[in-house]
């Protein structure tokens, strides 16, 4: 069974603060993929990153960084110096290596106030 847990339902920060969104997953697959998506108010899910289970190297892309720790089954997402435009719902997702089914977490609503 696959499961993704995003324990933080809502987070509110003030602009320029750093914020970390947590994601914990469960899977019996030895090889799998993890994803983060952003859903702004317009509704469309925007792909942010894919991480393979066999690649534990952390990644940084501008103000975004991701910390993948297989030992704790976590794939956390940090936004540095947050901006109002970062306000959205963020989803973490998991897909098995040969699995059609991508499981999403419940999402974390991030509000960045000016």
Partner 1 sequence: ETGVTQTPRHLVMGMTNKKSLKCEQHLGHNAMYWYKQSAKKPLELMFVYSLEERVENNSVPSRFSPECPNSSHLFLHLHTLQPEDSALYLCASSHPLGQGTQNEQFFGPGTRLTVL
Contacting residues toward partner 1, per CB under 8 A: 4, 33, 35, 37, 42-47, 50, 52, 91, 97-98, 100-107
Cα gap 14→34, rounded to integer Å:
28
CA 98 to chain centre: 21
Shortest gap between Cβ of 50 and partner 1 (angstroms)?
Answer: 5
Shortest gap between Cβ of 101 and partner 1 (angstroms)?
Answer: 6
Q: 38 has which bridge partners?
A: 46, 90
CB closer to partner 1 out of 52 and 58: 52
CB closer to partner 1 out of 13 and 102: 102
* 11 touches 20 (CB < 8 A): no
């Amino acid at each position: 069974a696959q499961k993704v847990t995003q324990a933080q339902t809502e987070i509110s920060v003030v602009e320029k603060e750093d914020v970390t969104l947590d994601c914990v997953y469960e899977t019996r697959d030895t090889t799998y993929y993890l994803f983060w998506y952003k859903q702004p108010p317009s509704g469309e899910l925007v792909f942010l990153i894919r991480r393979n289970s066999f690649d534990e190297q952390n990644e940084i892309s501008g103000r975004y960084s991701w910390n993948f720790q297989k030992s704790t089954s976590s794939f956390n997402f940090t936004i540095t110096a947050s901006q109002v435009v970062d306000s959205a719902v963020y989803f973490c997702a998991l897909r098995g290596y040969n699995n059609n089914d991508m499981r999403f977490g419940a999402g974390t609503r991030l509000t960045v106030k000016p």
